[in-house]
Amino acid sequence: MKTLIYYFYVHPTGWNDLYDFHIYNLKAYKEVFDKQIFIISHDPDTLTIHIDNVRKAIHSVFPDAEIRNYANDKDLRESKWFYNEIATKLSQLPDQWYFFAHNKGVDTWYTPVDNCKRWIMGMYFMNLNYMDKIEEQMDQYETCVIGTYLIRNVKAWPWLRYN
């Protein structure tokens, strides 16, 4: 069973053009997943209409998706949820395949939107387009995680929020 766990940050300013881009990509790969869980995260001042618009967009692609709410942490973002709800509870989760993602770029200021879109498209494509190769790797007993990028011996960026 392949479960998508998707952390969707809703920006207080409302719908972001990158939301459309993420929804487009999710639609392109929707057949990959047997189950979908969306974590809608937002700041306390985010209007309900903005949250509802995201919920409707998700359900337009995945009508049966489970949607949960989670308060946004302005510093740790999706890593706080991932740590609290996945990393610390791995032994309690059913034995299946989990695909974790988040709506990258919604609050990105350090690169132009076109660069962000290329990165986003690359992440969807490289992680979901070759499912036969992923299944082949995951069928090997030694494999427990597959990802797109690995960066070694890199000095942390001064603005990096995560350990």
Measured in whole angstroms, how far is the alpha carbon of residue 44 from the centre of its chain?
21
The reported pTM is 0.86
> What pLDDT score does 161 carry?
59
Query: Which portions of the chain are predicted below pLDDT 70?
Result: 141, 143-144, 147-163
> What pLDDT score does 163 carry?
53
> What pLDDT score does 96 carry?
86
Tell me, what DSSP letter sits at residue 135? Answer: H
CATH number of 2-138: 3.40.50, 1.10.1660, 3.40.120, 1.10.10?
3.40.50
Q: Over the stretch 63-110, which tens digit does the pLDDT of each residue have?
A: 999 999 999 998 888 989 999 999 889 889 888 889 999 998 888 878
How many other C-beta atoms can be found within 10 angstroms of the C-beta atom of residue 151? 5
Taking each helix axis as running N to C, give the angle between helix 48-61 and helix 17-28, from 0 to 180 degrees, rounded to the nearest 10: 20
Helix, coil or strand: residue 16: coil
